[in-house]
Structures are given as C-alpha cells and as structure tokens.
Amino acid sequence: MRTNNELLRAEHPVDPHMRDQILEHLRSIERTHDVRVLFACESGSRGWGFASPDSDYDVRFVYVHRLSWYLSVHPGRDVIELPISGDLDINGWDLRKALGLIQQSNPTLVEWLRSPIQYLAHEDTCARLEALAAGHFSATKGWHHYLSMARKNYRGYLKGDEVRFKKYLYVLRPLMAARWIASNAGIPPMRFATLAQQVLSPVTDADLIKDINALLEVKMRSSEAASSPPWRGLNAFIDQELGAAVQAPERDPETSSVEELDAFLMAAVLDFEACQKHEKPRTTMD
C-alpha cells in the first residue's frame, strides 16, 4: 500500500496465524536449546516490502546461551536452524557470532536489526546492538558488498529471454543501497520503498519510479516464479548504474575496538544467568 508521502509501493503482510506459529517456534527453540532469543525478525521479501502471495516467511533471530556454553574448550555450533516447513524458514545466530559479524561490518545482520517486521525483541538489547552496528559500519565494505551482490544477480538472473520479477528487485535493491552509502547517508534502510525514494528524484527519475512501481505491483500479486521478457527501462538503468559505480567511498568506522563488543556479550550472558528463575518480559512487535 502506498501513502500520499510515498513514491513507491510497499506492503508487509504477516498473517496473524503465522505470527502465532513463529512465536511458538521461537519459544520452543528457547526451551529445547536452553537459550534466550534476543530478537527475531523477517529478513526476506516481506521485510523488504514486496512479498508475493506465496512468499515464504524468512525468520531470522539472534540468541544467547548460558555462561557454561561459552566456557567450553571446544566451541559449540553457533547456528540454530529448523527444517524448512511449509512457508516457514527459521534460523538464527548465536550472539558471539553476531557480534563478530558486527565487528566485520556485515550488512546482513544490520538489515535484520532494521527490519520493519520484528516478531520478538528485547528492546534495550536491540537498540544497543543497532548502535554497535552503526559504530562499526564501514562504508567501503558496505558499498562493495551491495555492488557485488547487484553485479552477481544481474549476471545470474537478468540476462535471459525471460526474467523473474523478483530477480529485478534482487538487483535494484542492492544498487539503491550502494547509492545510499555513496551519498554519505550511512547504513541503508532495509525497507526497499524507504531506500529507493530517498536516492531517487521524483523529477529526474520519474520514468524509473513508474517502472519500479509497475514491477512492484505485478510482483506483489504474482507467484514467486512469475516472469516476463526483460524490462528495457530497468535494464538501461541497471547498466548505467553499474557502469558508473567505479569508486568506493573511503569512509571506515571511527572505531573498530572489540572491547565494547566483549562487554556487551558478557552483559547479555550474565543477564541471562541472573534471570534463570525470573525471566524478564519479552516484547513482541510488528
């Protein structure tokens, strides 16, 4: 749905019954693995704002173990994955792994933290994690990450006689993110409409915006496998944008200290230990 203040369509449909299922799976994970889920979000097309009627629910979460798990000589597995079942794809990362990726300025985790669909969240924890991610964000690494993603997806998906609608968005979104970073705007938002309407001009990019809205409309009412011949205007924009992206921004994070990440990990683990008998209330969020 598009409001008067938005140039581009965006929808984030979450069926209430599916939300209940997701929360039950997360609580089961906590019981089964003796962990605390710190936050859980939607990471796929629903979070980006252009889900198809048959899109999966791509649930991603970060969790913390008990103190004893971190004191083992042999590190344990730092990922929890549930078998894909129907429309549900649920997996998560241990907090130590997540913090290591924050130190490396990994864009994936930053996107999770900024997802417009949050299923479960310790709000103070999420705010601190997002602040840590912002403090360790490297514009150079982020720009290269998104540009490389756009180039790879363009070569892999948009060169045939038939193109799946969603694959265009898998190129357009990282291109917009790279442009966002190059304009010194910091970490790009996850939501595609927010991202694109900030880097596109309603005057000079009017035709492109019209094409993108047409793409979004057909994508959001078609199956994930739906396709069409290539869109000439979109291909022209992608070619131009990739050709112009030759110089990475040279802005690295002001701090790369690991001490604050260590302190956060310790605080989260000790808090979980202290709350073993009396869990703090969690907040479920849209």
Please list, in sequence order, all residues whose beta carbon lies within 8 angstroms of the beta carbon of residue 23, skipping any fewer than 6 positions away. 119, 120, 284
pLDDT band at 246 (very low <50, low <70, confident <90, very high): confident
Over residues 114-141, the mean pLDDT reads 91
Q: Is the dihedral of CA 255, 261, 264, 266 positive or negative?
A: negative
Residue 212 CA to residue 53 CA, distance in Å, equals 19
pLDDT at 269 over 80: yes
Amino acid 240: pLDDT: 94
pLDDT in tens, 42-99: 998 999 999 999 999 999 999 999 999 999 999 899 999 999 998 999 999 999 999 9
**Distances in whole angstroms, Cα of residue 168 to Cα of each of 12, 44, 215, 216:** 19, 15, 8, 10
pLDDT band at 281 (very low <50, low <70, confident <90, very high): very low
Amino acid 3: pLDDT: 45
Residue 210 CA to residue 214 CA, distance in Å, equals 6
Amino acid 275: pLDDT: 79
Amino acid 254: pLDDT: 58
Residue 127 CA to residue 196 CA, distance in Å, equals 24
**Distances in whole angstroms, Cα of residue 169 to Cα of each of 13, 53, 124, 286:** 18, 16, 33, 23
pLDDT at 16 over 70: yes
Residue 244 CA to residue 238 CA, distance in Å, equals 10
**pTM given for the model:** 0.89
Over residues 271-285, the mean pLDDT reads 65
Q: Is the dihedral of CA 76, 24, 50, 111 positive or negative?
A: negative
pLDDT at 280 over 70: no
